Amino acid sequence: MAILPSLQQLRFLCALAEQCHFGRAAESCAVTQSTLSGGIKELEARLGITLFERSHRHVILTPLGKEIATRAQRLLVEAEELVGLARNAHEPLSGPLRFGVIPTVGPYVLPSLLSHLGTARPKLKLYVREAPTAVLLDRLAGGALDILLVAIPYDLGDVEAMEIAEDPIVVAMPRNHPLGQHKAVSRDDLAREQLLLIEDGHCLRSHSLQACRIVDPGRNEVFQATSLRSLVQMVAAELGITLMPRIAVDSELTSSRNVVTRRLSPEEPYRTLVLAWRPTSSRGAEFRMLGNLIRECLTGPKKAFVPDRDTAALPAR
């Protein structure tokens, strides 16, 4: 009977396939480079094939090695699911959980969530990865992440999802802007203003454009930022107005006395925050428990969704 590869060897294979560098792969596995190299050589001997082409400068997967690495990743995910299923049958939401979140949600949810989980689920160890939605979905599918907190509308593909909360899109403007005299801003008002938006690649950009039915943003768009903080700073400098999620208002406007927000009319457009995981995961019930805890953080006494920010709530100059 053939000796099967160990899970450790498969983990070394997947790490080296991702990093294409022995040093970085060993570091990601928390082992020495010689240990990882030895494990790969033993795996190749057991399988009777060459998984990697090696030179002094490069480590490249062979075509067969690539296929085996893909299958190995699936096996590792299944093994982790098996252990998680057994552990969480005794105590849900305990042990490690690899949690992905998008940059336009994480900074405004994680502080209260981590504090809440520390009290409600002290044995849960949350490992957070912040990245754009597309990157998170790839890592979820590959087994590098267990669960995601993202926002729709966005094509999430083949996932199980739980809606958490609606996050309205609001208009942020300088405090002396003429539109600040109104309780709400119309889409026609937006069309006449210099618009500052987050750069391509962030789902918030498409959420804002869809919510406000802006077909050609280039017509009045004057600036693209890499973060919400940059956008708020540009608005504070009176270079235009922007669209932002209400969940971010309290955090981002705390240090700016010169920015106020108004809701959009006649409808209040919004994005929806969702929790997403692999449909094959055995931890669906546990993840829904986590979703309910996140809801508590967003709707509790110190809720993240705040009213329109006005000059009356800001300190005088």
What's the rounded mean pLDDT across residues 126-152? 91
pLDDT class of 88 with cuts at 50, 70, 90: low
Nearest Cα neighbor of 223 from 213, 212, 232, 215 is 232
300 band by pLDDT with thresholds 50, 70 and 90? low
More confident residue, 79 or 23: 23
Rounded mean pLDDT, 288-297: 90
Task: Tell me what pLDDT residue 221 has.
Answer: 47
pLDDT tens per residue, range 67-78 = 899 888 888 887
Q: Which two tokens stand for residue 288?
A: 């829904």
Does residue 56 carry a pLDDT above 60?
yes
Please report, to the nearest 10 degrees, the dihedral formed by the alpha carbons of residues 281, 128, 103, 145 taken in order: -30
**pLDDT for res 116:** 87
pLDDT value of residue 302: 47
Confidence of residue 306 (pLDDT cuts 50, 70, 90): very low
- The pTM score is 0.70
Angle at 118 between CA 86 and CA 148, to 5 degrees: 65
pLDDT at 314: 35
- Residue 229, CA distances (Å) to 89, 113, 216, 300 in order: 42, 21, 24, 25
Asked if omega into 266 is within 30° of 0 (cis), the reply is yes
pLDDT at 2: 64
Average pLDDT of 224-231?
73
Q: Which residue has the higher pLDDT, 105 or 223?
A: 105
More confident residue, 85 or 125: 125
What is the reported pLDDT for 317? 27
Lowest mean pLDDT among 18-32, 69-83, 143-157: 69-83
Quick one: pLDDT at residue 220? 45
- Domains in the chain with CATH codes: 7-85 (1.10.10.10), 96-309 (3.40.190.290)
Say yes or no to pLDDT of 137 above 90: yes
Q: Are 175 and 257 in contact (CB under 8 A)?
A: yes
Q: Which residues pair with 130 in a beta bridge?
A: 101
Range 89-93, long-range pairs (CB < 8 A, 24+ positions): 91/123, 92/285, 92/286, 92/289, 93/117, 93/121, 93/123, 93/124, 93/286, 93/289, 93/290
In degrees and rounded to multiples of 5, residue 312 shows phi and psi of -65, -30
pLDDT at 35 over 90: yes
Mean of the pLDDT values across residues 113-141?
Answer: 90
Distances (CA, A) of 216 to 43, 191, 213: 55, 10, 9
Residue 218 is predicted with a pLDDT of: 52
Out of 47-51, 171-175, 299-303, pick the least confident. 299-303
What is the pLDDT at residue 90? 65
The whole-number average pLDDT for the span 207-232 is: 63
